[in-house]
Structure 1
Amino acid sequence: MTGTGTLTQDLEAALKTIDEVLAHFQEVGDLAREARDRLSALQDLAAVPERPPAKDTTTPCVHLTQRQQEVLELLAQGSSNRRIGRTLNITEQTVKAHLHMIYRKLGAADRTEAVVIAMRRGVV
């Protein structure tokens, strides 16, 4: 009987080790995806040609809420929606809602354009 108990304990320990390894790979995968998202955002930003601001963008005054400003600053750093949510302790859906309002207020079509406009206006 002692041999069976030891075998069971060894199998449980092996399963626990495998679970820990899988959790580690999940974390590495998350970090790799975040790095890819940041590089993609930087690539998109680099591809945006310099152009003079439109007449309605000459004023740097954009009325963003404090939370919208925080989201925009993290966006400008290349953070994914998931990372922004984790950093600000809000859901990804809430991040998307803030981004939607930021796009409207800046007159941007997407996250890259929002960052470019914000940088040109001195908002971030």
Structure 2
Amino acid sequence: MGYELHITRAAEYYDSEEHPIALDEWFSYAENTPALTVGGWIWWGEDRHPFYVYTCADGSVVSMTWFEGAIDVKGHFGGDAYREFGSFAEDLRADLQGDDGERYTASGVLPPDN
């Protein structure tokens, strides 16, 4: 089973629709960020949308896809999550969160809020 990271404005990534990163905002950001390139296309209903790829410092490639108001980061990489994806989250005025609710910050990983 894979593990994902989420760039979200919500307190919990699964509530991202309540505090969304708008789809058009994401596309504009991704298109204007040289580190992101179109990796292919996905279909949502009758609409085709791009997903983006990012090459990590260790050479691994991850996908970044908008889903229900958050950006999902999928793939395997060997680096520090915040160093890899923190600037994307900051640029989007959002947080970087793992599937288990932990938050990745410049000062380290914070445990989930309980």
TM range (shorter): 0.3 to 0.5
Between Structure 1 and Structure 2, the one with more helix by share is: 1
Between Structure 1 and Structure 2, the one with more strand by share is: 2
Question: Which of the pair has more CA radius of gyration?
Answer: 1
TM-score, length of structure 2 as denominator length: 0.32
